[in-house]
A and B are shown apart, each in its own frame.
Chain A
Amino acid sequence: MDVLDEKTLSELAARVRAYPYPREMVVDVLRAIQERRGWVSDEGVELAAQLLRISPLEVEEVATFYDKIYRRPVGRKVIHLCDSVCCFSRGGEDILKHLEKRLQITLGQTTPDGMFTLLPTCCLGACGQAPAMSVNLRLYGHLTPEAVDRILEEERREVSP
């Protein structure tokens, strides 16, 4: 099975057996599937449904609700730039313009080298550090164009030293 390796699959199956309401594990299962290929395919949704004994639709409802579960291929790193009110009022839109210029892509796109995908998000819980963004699970606050350039450089270096 290409969606999950045998070991993870059997670990998840064991947890499903221990849960009184396996559907509560849906995010965990989707995260595990995403871990392997970077995103969740239709087959991934169907496997999760089979594992949790719910319909694929019920899995898809959760998968499409959360913006950190990706239902389409994404770059190696996903940038989520907050577009909520605090970040907006602290210059979030300028950061977006800067990111788009630097990466030569717009929201929803992936750089041609497959490194970055740029997505908006409605809140990162970092209003005190607005404007903020996350790159994969790493949070960056108090963004300035200069800080963004540095972050992109570091994130890129981390993948290809």
Chain B
Amino acid sequence: MILRTPPPRKRRSVSSEQREESALDMPLVIYEDPVSEPSHEPSHEPSDQMMCTYQCRQMVKSEFLDALDTAEKQVAEYRINLEALNEQLRTSESGRKEFKDQLCVSQQELAAAKGREQALEEQLMKEVHDSQERYKTLLSRFSELEVKLSKETDARKHAETLVSSSEEKMALLEQQMRQLSESSERERKQLNRELSDLKSDSELSISRINVSLQQMECSANNAKKEAELLNKQREELAEQLKERSHQLAKMEQELLSLTAPSDDVAASETQILVKHLQEELRNYETEVREARKLKSYHMNNELLKEKLLEEKRRRERAEEELLKLEEVQMNAKKLEDELLSWKSLLKEIPEVACREDIPKMLGTLQKEVIDNLMKVGEVNAHLKELEVALESSNFTKQLLETENAIMKEKLDNLASEVKRLELMLSSVTEERDQLRKEAMASKIQKGGEVEKGTTNVDLVKMQELESSLAKKESIIRELDDNLREQREIVNSQQHEMQLLHEKLNMEARKMKSLEREGDRLRAEISLLESKLGHGDYSSANTKVLRMVNTFAVDSEAKHMIETLQNQLQKAQAKIRAIEDLKGQTDAGNSIDSHLSETNAQLKAQVATLEKREERYRAVFLDKIQVFRKACCSIFGYEIVMSEYQRSNGIPGTRFTLRSIFAQNDNERLEFDYDSGVTTILVNEYTSQPEISQQVDIFIHKMKSIPAFTANLIIEAFNRHTLC
């Protein structure tokens, strides 16, 4: 048995703290019977495993008791520590709770921020999408509009080119038309000349024909005469023949009556004679026939000559006509060519069927050009509007981006806070775990060394704590569930908020538009107010009246009278003084000089006053003349104002108007003016039926003198200009 003295207490007590400290760091081992343990080296220090190496318990007992005491003390300390730790745990729990709350709050905030961020992102994305879509649509519209614009510009250019070409063509055609008209005029002139030539030729030919006709008539007469002569000759010859035949008959009768031989001779002779005579007769007859034939031939010849002449004329006419025909054909060809060119031109111009359509077409083209210009203007305006909208969308986008950046920053801050909280939480949990470990270690120590009755309390406490922790965790889960629900609610509320925000935006836009409208209306109102404030008024419902301000003149006159009266009084006083001092010759001279001075002053005053009056008169006359002339030139009436005494003795004002178109002095209108009321007076001119009718209509019925005078002026002007 190896004895080992227990280590000195002091030392133990001194080292107990160290041991405690070391024990805290060392792993705890359950004490068991160290039979199997090999022999250890003696050491003053306790073993590393805190095991008793002595077999003798009695020896150990004291130490054990000491150790128990110390352990009890330690237990007490541990208890205190445990309590402190429990307190710490509580505090840490409370801190944890707080941190949990903070975590919850931060999670809520995070969730809210996330939700907001998501909402904002969604909104932003939506807006970005919308803006992109809008931008795209705008771009597409813009491109479409550009295409349209280019098309329209092309169309416009085309139309302009068409217009210019058509104008050129028009100009060319007009030139051609002019040329044609000139050529036609020339042709007409030529034809007229030719016609005149032909007329002269025909006259000449007619005269020739007449002459030839006369010649022919003469020849015919001659032929007739010849025929008559020939007929006479024939008749004479027939008579001769009859006489001869009669003579022959007589001769034959004589012969018959005479002797036979002689008869035979005579008969043969007579027969020969008869035969000769018959032959002569036959010859005559043939001659007559020939003469008749000649006559008929002659007649035929004349007819043929006439026919020939006629034919010649016809031929000449035909030749002329042929020449004309050739020219006409040439003209016709030219015209056909022009017509073809026109037709081709018309074909080239769309929607033009005939020449009359060209001006219409030009008009429509001009209208189209104007319309296109209008459209271009509208498109430009639209473009500007779109640009403005784009700018506004860009602005909103920028705003949203800045908002997003701010939100991101907030989110980062929140995340960092969450991280910080998480770190804190982890440190707290670590601390808690450590504490738990410590508690466990102390418990084990107690379990190993102290009776279980004492540790059961701690265990129960620990179990309670654990159960409470489990409860807390379950509560935390519940809270998490609640948190989720709350998040969902918050999300839904955020969605609602988003919707409300959109509505708000819409309302804000509306507000802005209304504000713009309000600004515009305010500007209008201010303009109108300024006009009103300036003093403008509507004569339809407002009348401007002025109080007759006579006191200014009166006061001036009064002042003048007063000064004059004062001067008069002074002068009178001086005269009295002079009279009083008549005898006193000494003072006389001085008073005389004084009087002469005052007299001179008064004269000077009178002179200045007279001058002023004259000047006023001259100015007034000038002004009134200018006014009258202006009235005369503007309204067409010479206005003369005169005053007269009425029957009741009150003076009245009369205005006599004479038109500048008046034909005589009697043509004048007279008006009586009395305190703002003007009445027309009847005179010779106004009593004329035409004028009196107008007076009835305009003045009595319509109650308008200006209308009456204006009507009279217009009538007089018309008369004057017509004349």
A and B held together in a complex: no
Q: Chain A residues in contact with chain B, CB under 8 A?
A: none
